[in-house]
Structure 1
Amino acid sequence: MVRALAAMVIAAAVCAVLSCWLVLIGWSLMGDAVSHAVLPGVVLAYVLGAPFALGAVVFGFLAVALIGVIRDTSRIKEDAAIGTVFTTLFALGLVLISVTPSQTDLNHIVFGNLLGVGRADLGQIAVLGAVALTALLLKRRDFTLYAFDPVHAHAIGLDPRLLGAALLGLLALTCVVALQVVGVVLVVAMLIIPGATAHLLTDRFGWMLVIAPAVSVGAAAVGLYLSYHLDTASGAMVVLVQGAVFLPAYLFGPHGALAGRIAAGRRRARTCG
């Protein structure tokens, strides 16, 4: 349980920080695509005895390249291209799992195995998480400018394509961090829900970088505790708690649904008055 909690906290913090940029850029579908597309890369890395991160990053960039090619060379729009590529690569990963002889259950890659995290797994999660988080924080100003105004970023000498590629690489790396914890299927929730929740609670990006990991880490601790006492799936319970936190933020947050209606009602009252 101690190793499970440590692994979940690390994964939750890294995913939450990255989710702030994914939400602002509008890369929710891209996060879904990359998180599923890395599956065959992870399986092939296991077969070849290579690091999981290497296979994940390669297939993450491959997915993005295929999406761009399909979008730019046909009449298919980006959302359809994303859906086609990530489902095909995800299916390829499932097929590879089914035909790969292994002494370990590779289905844990799909659904996660939080309570099966060993010392070596925790070490890998900690190292990869530290690399991803350090890169995000060191380049946060450039990534933020890219998210808000890529044209201005290019005007001051930054390369928007390079920044986008760096974010996609960190996305693939973050997926590897969370694979052992919640599996491929639920990684996208940890990559989107914390940032979306923080976006409803503040309009300052600096505060988003504080609120999102706080919400995510808190949900990780509560979800793991509840899963232990209720005897439920750990990763799924953590995501369920994150969703439960998102709901009141959506309804009652400063930028939530009810706040918008109240503000609109006040504007109509002033206009009528």
Structure 2
Amino acid sequence: MIMNFFAGIQEFHFLQNALVTSIVIGIVSGAVGCFIILRGMSLMGDAISHAVLPGVALSYLLGINFFIGAIVFGLFASVLITYIKGNSIIKGDTAIGITFSSFLALGVILIGVANSSTDLFHILFGNILAVQDIDKWITIAVAVLVLMVIVIFFKELLITSFDPLMAQAMGMNVSFFHYLLMVLLTLVSVTAMQSVGTILIVAMLITPAATAYLYANSLKVMLLLSSTIGVLSSFIGLFIGYSFNVAAGSSIVLTAAVFFGISFFLSPKQRKAKRRGMQ
């Protein structure tokens, strides 16, 4: 079965595209996910991944690349959530819930107007085996851009993630780096849509990073571990999906969940925390 998978990679171009795209997504989503969980923004990732749906639907109706509409609506959602949270007595999780459910409902209606239930299924749950060459190259370009931004602004993202008050006292523009992270999150959500769909994007952002957090004692190590786990999850999940003819996106997410489940019981940090809790 393993030999059949590798033979398929050598023979079928669609499987090559799927493998490259899923690995790239595993790397970049693992990296961005580290900052998301350190800032306690897991719900924001969920919100933006759902908010891109109307952008995808509108792009489909207008006949333009779905990246354009998805990115516009993802950024709009992040700005809207931040504005509501900062200018009312409504708490952040409430603003997120209202925004992402509204955007999701709008997206479903627009997909219905376009009379494309098949595309809706692929958007919601992904179809990594249908990735075209242009989508693969866009994914690679976006991943390179996101990783370059993380490398360039690593120090600023590190400080604003762990201690925003100290960052502000040092003269850093905390709001700028918050919105920068929202842009990166939106870009990753749009690219990951092809592999796991809008429903499961948040799992690729959160699960590898959470697994890495159980082992790492520094952000650099956490980033490397998270991206590695993302790559392994993508590879193994694609293998399972192709070999057993099941949804590859869901297989990728479940593989990442298995890594987390194993780490939850075996990681040294987790065992130490349990021992402290028992004392």
With structure 2 as the length reference, what TM-score do the two structures score? 0.89
Which sections of structure 1, spanning at least 5 residues, go unmatched?
269-273
Alignment match, 1:157: 171
Q: What is the one-letter code of the residue matched to 1:259?
A: K
> Per-residue deviation at 1:264?
4.4
1:165-213 deviations in Å (ceiling 9; x for gaps):
0100111111111111111011000010111111111121110011001
CA deviation after TM superposition for structure 1 residue 157, in Å: 2.6
User: What is the alpha-carbon distance in structure 2 between the residues aligned to residue 183 and residue 19 of structure 1?
Assistant: 16
Q: Secondary structure at the match of 2:171?
A: coil
Deviates more, 1:18-27 or 1:223-232: 223-232
Aligned residue-pair number: 265
Provide, for residues 222-251 of structure 1, a one-character-per-residue CA deviation record: whole Å limited to 9, x for no partner: 111122222211010010000000012112
User: What displacement does 1:152 show?
Assistant: 2.1
The structure 2 residue matched to 1:134, chosen from 128, 143, 148, is 148
Residue 259 of structure 1 corresponds to 272
Q: Report Cα offsets for 1:72-129 as digits up to 9, x if no partner.
A: 4544322122111101101111111111156973431111111111112212211122
Q: Distance in 1 between matches of 2:88 and 2:221?
A: 41
Relative distance call for 1:51 and 1:131 in structure 2 (3 A) is farther
CA RMSD of aligned residues (A): 1.9
In the other structure, the counterpart of 2:258 is 244
2:68 counterpart (54, 58, 67) = 54
Equivalents in 2 of 1:137, 1:91: separation in Å? 36
Segment of structure 1 superposing worse, 179-188 or 155-164: 155-164
The yes-or-no answer on 1:124 pairing with 2:138 is: yes
- Say if 2:123 and 2:197, in contact at 8 Å, map to a contact too: yes
Mapping 1:1-273, distance limit 5 Å:
1-101=15-115, 105-256=119-270, 258-265=271-278, 268=279
Residue 52 of structure 2 aligns to a residue whose secondary structure is helix
DSSP 3-state at the match of 2:119: coil
Q: Letter of the aligned partner of 1:55 in structure 2?
A: G
Matches of 1:177 and 1:217, distance apart in 2: 15
Contact 2:31 2:226 (C-alpha < 8 Å) held by counterparts: yes
**Which 10-residue stretch deviates more, 217-226 or 16-25?**
217-226
Contact 2:111 2:117 survives alignment (8 Å): no
Task: Give the structure-1-normalised TM-score.
Answer: 0.91
Unaligned runs of 5+ in 2: 1-14
Taking only the aligned residue pairs, the percentage that are identical comes to 37
- d(CA) in 2 for partners of 1:32 and 1:104? 23
8 Å CA contact retained: 1:39, 1:184: yes
CA contact (8 A) 1:97 1:107 kept: no
